[in-house]
Structure 1
């Protein structure tokens, strides 16, 4: 993994990680997390807060991190249940009522 060396990049990475973990615990799926991360990175790019090299490194790290299923765990510690809604977990999914 490309190491982040810019303190501002590290702060943004941590902020993005925290936000994505919060979304994941509210049963948002991988596509929602990707969309959120893309929007965050786009806004950061448009604001020019980071220099271009730091921005590119941050985007590379986020890309690898968000695609790694081990980055997120479910509320019960099981990554397989992370993206299931409470509705599905209660047994009321289609065909199981």
Structure 2
């Protein structure tokens, strides 16, 4: 579980971006490359400590490989419009 506020903010940014990119049609491999680049930039800039980056990577990996996180929001909107 993430507890550091900067780490939590980065987790939220990454996961929001992953959902948006998945909705645009990017594959899971491309999303993984995005995550790797994001984490590499955190390591290079020393914005958060190395052990926190490792925890962040673990949590983001769990998010990325859980398909329930990528249920299409567009389908939900279509369903609600049709029901009305």
The match for 2:79 is none
- Provide TM-score, normalisation by structure 2: 0.82
Q: Which has the larger radius of gyration?
A: 1
Matches for 1:6-25 after TM superposition, within 5 Å = 6-25=4-23
The gaps in structure 1 that reach 5 residues or longer are: 78-97
Matches for 1:28-39 after TM superposition, within 5 Å = 28-39=26-37
The gaps in structure 2 that reach 5 residues or longer are: 77-84
The match for 1:76 is 75
The match for 1:51 is 49
Instruction: After superposition, give the CA deviation of every residue in 1:40-71 in whole Å (9 maximum; x if it has no partner).
Output: 11111111111122111101111111111111
Shift in Å at residue 17 of structure 1? Answer: 0.8
The match for 2:3 is 5
Q: Give every structure 1 segment of 4 or more consecutive aligned residues whose post-TM-superposition deviation is greater than 4 Å.
A: none
Structure with a larger share of its residues in helix = 2
- Provide TM-score, normalisation by structure 1: 0.72
Q: What CA distance in whole angstroms lies between the structure 2 residues aligned with 1:30 and 1:20?
A: 9
RMSD: 1.0
Larger relative contact order (CA 8 Å, sep ≥ 6): 2
